[in-house]
Amino acid sequence: MKKHPLIEQVQQSAIDHNLFEPGEKVLVAVSGGVDSVVLLHALLSLCEQFRITLAVAHVDHGLRGAESQGDREFVERLAAQQGLDVFAKTFDVKAYAKRAGLSTQLAAREVRYQYLKKVANLIGATKLATAHHADDQAETVLMRILRGTSLKGLGGIPTRRREEGAEFELIRPLLHVWRAEIESYARDYGILYREDSSNASTHYLRNKIRIQLLPELTTAYNEGTKSHLVHLAEQAREDDQYLSELAEREYRRICQTERDGTISVDVRLLGVSPLPLQRRVITLILYYLRGHTSLWEQVHIESIRSLLTNRYPSAELHLPHGIVARRVYDALLFTTTQALDPVQEVPPAPYELTSLGRHELPEYGIALELTEVEGVPSRPLDAWTAHFNADELSSSRIYIRSRAGGDLLRPIGLHGTKRISDVLVDAKVPKSRRATWPLFCINDSIAWVVGLTRGQAGLVTPETARTLVIRAHVLPAPGPQSYERSDPFSGGT
């Protein structure tokens, strides 16, 4: 028997977007209106094909008195008729909106999604299906254009999205189906549903767009307006995804996470990146520090970008939600205010180098490789490798320590001494790293500011019979925290 065209569309969308996995439990959000009732009807017809089980959830916002109570009772009867578990709850959204300082619409959305998230996690649902359709997509894109938006915003409603702080994905099986097709399906099958009287009110912007603006654009200007808006959303989402992937690669190239959780960026590298990548890399940094991107606005991103061109070597920016961005010479450092609490840090203990081989010093953030060779090897290729006269060191104490007040170095080629603090400042070492910067010492003399400057102690000569070669490596810091949400650039809705 041939399937109804709407069922074929939903089936194809599920295949194209991999909406279901065999054995999954899907929680269906059902308001009682035609869209959500048709969604439930369609998914029931596809359960066997995709080997999924369904449960129903309903939220009564308490905004329409007896009418909304009737919606709840209707949904509970509908689920019972189909032998499905149903979870329904009534909320006082007006009271919540007043407490939280939100508009009624935003408060209703927040309450609804929090409850659906709670139910989905409770029953082990791996997908939450909502009844957003193609008309919703067109309305969303147009509303965002009117309010002002970005490429991400133009992407509209995604077909599937990982929900923050939840073990499930949000899916929209009807997103490529038009409202007229949904209503036609309901007529064809004699499906009963509830009418929400508030949908006829033009008090809210979305309703105005649906009732007044879109029909006017469609009839007076271009009958394909809605289709064009949906197509724009698809293209914008594809472009946004591509730029997001570029930003991830750029982040891995130019950013690193320090052992204290600070994320550092090379200002010179970020500064020459294209502007869209600069903004997205900064967004990624904020996401890795806080697990959200909705906490900051464009003005915060641009304020951070201004640090790239700041003519002062040190500048600091305090952002909402406990984020601090600091320009320190050629580095841009991002941290949280918790990490900046004035706790007295205990200097790392000296590390004795009593054997050849590899030594890991996590408290100093480095590993050392000690080898011994005959004669005098070629000069070290960089400042992270140093050569010492092994004959002279045989009876000496060699070790790594952090700096102390009054430390001095006798640099090669310089008559006199130089303070270690000046060596670190001249090398533009961030202030937060100076206290634990490793110093290689021979007895009481500093012989090497690791990775920066060689001192005169322990120098090899043409007569040196054996040379101690020390190679230093920076230990990788723990990576940024992993969050459930897979795309930090994805939109809300």
Burial group, residue 409, by CB count within 10 angstroms (0-12, 13-18, 19+): buried
In what helix (H) or strand (E) does residue 89 lie, and over which residues does it extend?
strand 86-90
- Does the reported pTM lie above 0.85? no
Position 413 in a domain: yes
**Segment among 155-164, 398-407, 420-429, 478-487 with least mean pLDDT:** 478-487
Distance CA 336, CA 169 (A): 29
Task: Give the single-character DSSP code of 417.
Answer: -
In a domain, 419, yes or no: yes
Among candidates 152, 485, 493, which has minimal Cα distance to 291? Answer: 485
Q: Residue 286, Cα to own-chain centre: how many angstroms? A: 7
With respect to residue 104, please indicate whether it lies within any of the assigned structural domains. yes
CA within 13 Å, CB half, 412: 15
In a domain, 345, yes or no: no
Q: Does residue 70 have a known ligand-binding role?
A: no
Given this model, what pLDDT does residue 293 score?
A: 64
* DSSP-assigned letters across all residues of 151-220: HHHHT-S-SEEEPTTSSSEEE-TTTTS-HHHHHHHHHHHT------GGGG--SSHHHHIIIIIHHHHHHH
Residue 31 counted as an annotated binding residue = yes
| Statement: residue 309 has pLDDT above 90 | no
CATH number for position 314: 3.30.465.60
35 is in an annotated binding site: yes
Is pLDDT above 60 for 9? yes
Cβ contact 390:458 at 8 Å: no
Q: Give the DSSP letter of residue 308.
A: G
Q: What angle do CA 283, 286, 292 make, to 5 degrees?
A: 95
Q: Long-range contacts made by residues 274-277, C-beta under 8 angstroms, separation at least 24?
A: 276/243, 277/243, 277/246, 277/247, 277/250
Residues 305 and 356 in one domain: no
Q: Is residue 461 part of a domain?
A: yes
Rounded to 5 degrees, φ, ψ at 295 are -80, -15
**CATH code, domain carrying 379:** 3.50.40.10
DSSP state of 223: T
- pLDDT of 207 higher than 50: yes
Domain final position from 340, 373, 389: 340
Phi-psi region of 458 (alpha: psi -120 to 50; beta: other; left: phi over 0): left
pLDDT for 368 beyond 60: yes
